[in-house]
Structure 1
Amino acid sequence: MRKVREQVLAASGGKGIAPARTEIGQPPLNAQAHLEVLVQAVIPGTSIFSLATVETTATCNSTASNSGRGLRVKLGDETRVLASSLCSAGDNVHEQTYGVFELAENLLQQAGLAFSDVVRTWIHLRDIDRDYNDLNRARRAFFVSREIRPAPASTAIGGSLAVERHKLCLGFYAVTGHNPVARIPMHSPTLNEAPEYGADFVRGMRVAESNKTMLIVSGTASVDLAGRSVHVGDFSAQTDRMLANMHALLRGQGATFDDVVVAITYVKRPSDQLLLLDRFRNAGFEGFPHVWVQADICRPELLCETELIAVLPCIQ
């Protein structure tokens, strides 16, 4: 897979600038597929546009990861940084988590940004059932030490990593500009705030960039206003509650499912795929690029989770 990818990138004329990329063992729900790829591209609407690789010293020297490397995108007065597959050395999950957030901070500093400019993170855990609480404790310690408020939107999900000794990897998206980039946490009357049960992320983040307003919805599952998992054992009901939570988050920002531009859905049991497709179709949650993979969710009783990005015009 890596060999073919490098051949394609070389043939595309990318001028030696590699995109941020993540390799995660999450089997596609399509039984005929050996892998699935999600790609995001930017077509500049201005000549004031540049791409550059940013690097910092990584604590992990694995050639199978992107540790210490990210992509800086300058668009007019704004600077955006994307990185993925960041890994850190450490004897346990707490050490690796704290280390990978420090690595992200160092990488951002090389691009002239700070961790407070991060609006979205993705965290893949090799054993999420065992390690999720340790991840949360280390993430909270880092955020408190850096006074990160509000926390970014986030997804923490299960997935095997390219290197066996790594227990987790981190990806992020950050944005800043000469004028402060407005970022507003999203709320829902159907959900509590995740920090109330020890997970430091916002349910969604509204980010007003120069050319669009992004609504970044964190990984969302069948959770209620008290932060409890609801409809345990009932996949249909869990899907409906997940959809209701996402709809409420978007509605609070004047958006609907029609404004969604991309989504990723994680399903614990592949046998539930057809039922999930039917529930999504009935809810009008379709018509955009959508990746479907098998993965363990952050709680053993949760059977599905979806993250999404919706876009509104700047005038809103």
Structure 2
Amino acid sequence: MKKLGILTDDHKISDTVFPPIHVERPPIEKHVVHAPHTINEAYDYQKPSSFSRALRLDLGDYKVLVISGTASVNEEGNPEHIGDFKAQLWRTYYNITNLLEAEGMTWHDVVRTTNYLRDIERDYGEFNKIRTSFYNWLGLDPLPAATGIQARLCWETLLVEIEAYAVCKVR
């Protein structure tokens, strides 16, 4: 923590946690995005987690929405559809859709997704079939850039998690 500038040599909290570079170049303003009717905040879990569901960045004439890994979690912070990959994927799309809507955006503004599957060999075929149907139903063209990764997710009950990046011009 001393090397990070958080603690002084005598183990006290540093008065200069705000890096000097930010005096001349303030960090970009970040706005937390919420969709409480759909999905709760990670810091409200029974075992709190330290991240925001989504952040909006205002960059001149554009706004960028950065959505954290989102899964089949409900407004109370509980997993939904345990053991049902298809239902978990649809709930994940529902959660992301509501986070996009909270900022006046849609899937047409999504430029990239990163898709984490607990068992990519078992579930990728079904994942791609549902994703293709969802994107076709929405009429997305071009499709978002994407990456699929097999990963151990934060809860054993989760089978899929998606993070997304969206960009739109401010009116």
Q: TM tier, shorter chain?
A: 0.7 to 0.9
Aligned residues: 150
1:181 Cα deviation from its structure 2 partner: 3.9
1:58 Cα deviation from its structure 2 partner: 6.8
Match of 2:133 in 1: 282
Residues 28-47 of structure 1: CA distance to partner in whole angstroms, max 9, x if unpaired? xxxxxxxxxxxxxxxxxxxx
Residues 45-88 of structure 1: CA distance to partner in whole angstroms, max 9, x if unpaired? xxxxxxxxxxxx979xxxxxxxxxxxxxxxxxxxxxxxxxxxxx
Distance 1:113 1:296 in 2: 36
Match of 2:67 in 1: 217
- Assess if the C-alpha contact under 8 Å between 1:182 and 1:209 holds in 2: no
Distance 1:258 1:264, change over 3 A: same
Larger RCO of the pair (alpha carbons < 8 Å, separation 6+): 2
1:210 Cα deviation from its structure 2 partner: 3.0
1:265 Cα deviation from its structure 2 partner: 0.5
Residues 237-273 of structure 1: CA distance to partner in whole angstroms, max 9, x if unpaired? 0000000000000011111111011110000012100
Stretches of 4+ moved more than 6 A in 1?
none
TM-score, length basis structure 1 = 0.44
1:312 Cα deviation from its structure 2 partner: 1.2
1:283 Cα deviation from its structure 2 partner: 1.6
- Percent identical across equivalent pairs? 29
Taking the TM superposition and a 5 Å limit, the aligned residue runs for 1:1-316 are 109=19, 112-113=21-22, 181-188=28-35, 189-197=37-45, 198-210=48-60, 212-270=62-120, 271-284=122-135, 287-313=143-169, 315-316=170-171
Distance 1:58 1:177 in 2: 22
**Structure 1, unaligned runs of 5 or more:** 1-56, 60-104, 115-175
**Structure 2, unaligned runs of 5 or more:** 5-15
Q: CA RMSD in A?
A: 2.6
Amino acid in the other structure paired with 1:190: T
Amino acid in the other structure paired with 1:298: C
1:206 Cα deviation from its structure 2 partner: 0.8
1:296 Cα deviation from its structure 2 partner: 0.5
Distance 2:81 2:28 in 1: 38
Amino acid in the other structure paired with 1:303: L
